Amino acid sequence: MSIPPTDSRSTEIAQKKLMLTIICCGLVVSALCIVLLPIPLPLPVRLAVGFIDLIAAAAIWLIGRQKFSGK
């Protein structure tokens, strides 16, 4: 049996954190797929797109961490 949260905004914050985690994981998976799958693109383009996806995931993770740090 779980205890309901005392703060009414805690469920909203938890949903936002979950959404940020899903987005970051999706960007990392897409970067790996672009780099590893045999897509008919030149290797430098695939590496650049994969690197940009990883940078976007890191930026979103950092922004989410700063926003939800509680300070």
For residue range 2-58, what is the model confidence (pLDDT) as tens digits? 666 567 788 888 899 999 999 999 999 999 999 999 999 999 999 999 999 999 999
Q: In one letter, which amino acid is 63?
A: I
pTM: 0.81
Q: What is the DSSP letter of 4?
A: P
Asked, for residue 29, whether it belongs to a domain, the answer is yes
Asked, for residue 16, whether it belongs to a domain, the answer is no
**Is 15 in contact with 51 (CB distance < 8 Å)?**
no
Give residue 54's domain range.
24-67
Q: Taking the CA of residue 25 as centre, how many other CA atoms within 13 Å lie in the half-sphere pointing to its CB?
A: 6
Asked, for residue 48, whether it belongs to a domain, the answer is yes
Asked, for residue 8, whether it belongs to a domain, the answer is no
Asked, for residue 35, whether it belongs to a domain, the answer is yes
Asked, for residue 18, whether it belongs to a domain, the answer is no
Considering its fold, how many domains does the chain have in total?
Answer: 1
